[in-house]
Amino acid sequence: MRAALLAAMSLMALSPPLRRAADAVLLHAAGSLRSPLTEAARAFEAAGDAPVTMKFGASGLLRDEIAGGAKAEVFASANMEHPRSLSEAKRSGPVVLFARNRLCALARPGLEVTSANVIDRMLDPHIKLGTSTPKADPSGDYAWKVFRRVDALRAGSFTALKGKALQLTGGPASPKPPTDRNVYGAIIERGEADLFLTYCTNALVAAREVAGAKVVDLPDAVAVGADYGLTVMNGSSEAAYRLTLFILSPEGQTILAHHGFTSPNRPMNEE
């Protein structure tokens, strides 16, 4: 994490002249970061710093909004590619890897599924398989990556899985997620999916909300990790950089760890 902090401090030194914060820091972040970054923002404010206005959603859609001119200062994405596209377009500074996640399968109550048979369950034509929306939401892209790894084990599986996958969240036309509960728990509770491929952090929250639901680790041969990237838009306030440093600090990283995210300085297979 020391390297990430040094990168962020270098970013501040190399950035154009900063404006002083007249209003709240504008944070745009992946939906999977809602709980930890809300907690981090509240801790940042409680320490006497600027207020933070937060917008959460699918990282690809947020990136498109920002690229289209939406006002933002700090962008925390569930992948590295979306913030890098803003950096490469000279809209923001460098991108820092600040957290890691991975994909799990969330299973509805009563479904007999384990890591040993989850691939069979995913391929079963009678099982409704839910995912997020590729391109709009990195979670969907990671699910497609899982499909390709399954295909390497069982030829033809990518086509079968892509064809049956129900893209239930993260897209431009997806229903707005509920504000009072986990969207993935709501989906399996309503019977819209029997299995849902989502981040393990999301799946754990959903399983706590839905009695009998469970989180299933994907087998090593098809497991996919997720690297989360953070960037600050050009011309942002000094407070935006302080918020970034707070997220990268030991206190910010402890908050992320409490919510199931892992340190970018540790390999995923050590978690």
Residue type, 149: R
What Rg do the C-alpha atoms of the chain give, in angstroms?
Answer: 19
In whole angstroms, give the CA distance from residue 187 to residue 192.
Answer: 5
Calculate the alpha carbon distances from 88 to 91, 149, 261 in Å.
7, 30, 27
Do 211 and 112 share a domain, yes or no?
yes
CATH number of 144's domain: 3.40.190.10
The reported pLDDT for the residue numbered 17 is 43
Do 18 and 50 share a domain, yes or no?
yes
* DSSP strands (E only) in 156-213: 166-169, 195-199
Task: Count other Cβ atoms within 10 Å, centred on residue 139.
Answer: 30
Do 60 and 89 share a domain, yes or no?
yes
Which domain, by its residues, includes 211?
102-217
Average pLDDT over residues 209-213: 97
In whole angstroms, give the CA distance from residue 36 to residue 55.
Answer: 13
The reported pLDDT for the residue numbered 187 is 97
The reported pLDDT for the residue numbered 263 is 84
Last residue of a domain, one of 217, 234, 262: 217
The reported pLDDT for the residue numbered 178 is 79
Do 108 and 206 share a domain, yes or no?
yes
* DSSP strands (E only) in 38-77: 52-57, 74-77
Give percent above pLDDT 90 in the chain: 86
In whole angstroms, give the CA distance from residue 19 to residue 141.
Answer: 36
In whole angstroms, give the CA distance from residue 9 to residue 193.
Answer: 44
Last residue of a domain, one of 175, 195, 217: 217
Do 141 and 77 share a domain, yes or no?
no
Residue of 119, 145, 121, 123 whose CA lies nearest to 132:
145
Q: With the C-alpha atoms ordered 122, 195, 183, 80, is the resulting torsion angle positive or negative? A: negative
Do 31 and 112 share a domain, yes or no?
no
| ∠ CA 150-152-154, rounded to 5° | 65
The reported pLDDT for the residue numbered 270 is 37
Taking 70 as the threshold, does the pLDDT of residue 203 lie above it?
yes
Tokens of 20: 């002083």
Last residue of a domain, one of 217, 244, 261: 217
Do 108 and 83 share a domain, yes or no?
no
Task: Answer whether 139's CB lies under 8 Å from 57's CB.
Answer: no
Query: Each residue of 1-54: pLDDT tens digit?
Result: 455 544 555 555 444 444 454 589 999 999 999 999 999 999 999 999 999 999
Tokens of 160: 């079968």
Do 73 and 150 share a domain, yes or no?
no
Do 88 and 113 share a domain, yes or no?
no
The reported pLDDT for the residue numbered 194 is 98
Do 44 and 69 share a domain, yes or no?
yes
Do 47 and 134 share a domain, yes or no?
no
The reported pLDDT for the residue numbered 179 is 77
Q: How many domains does the chain have?
A: 2
- In this structure, what are the phi and psi dihedrals at residue 230, rounded to the nearest 5 degrees? -125, 135
How is 75-140 classified by DSSP, letter by letter? Answer: EEESSSHHHHHHHHTTSB---EEEEEEEEEEEE-TT----TTTHHHHHH-TTS-EEEE-TTT-HHH
Do 156 and 60 share a domain, yes or no?
no
pLDDT-derived band at 124 (thresholds 50, 70, 90) equals very high
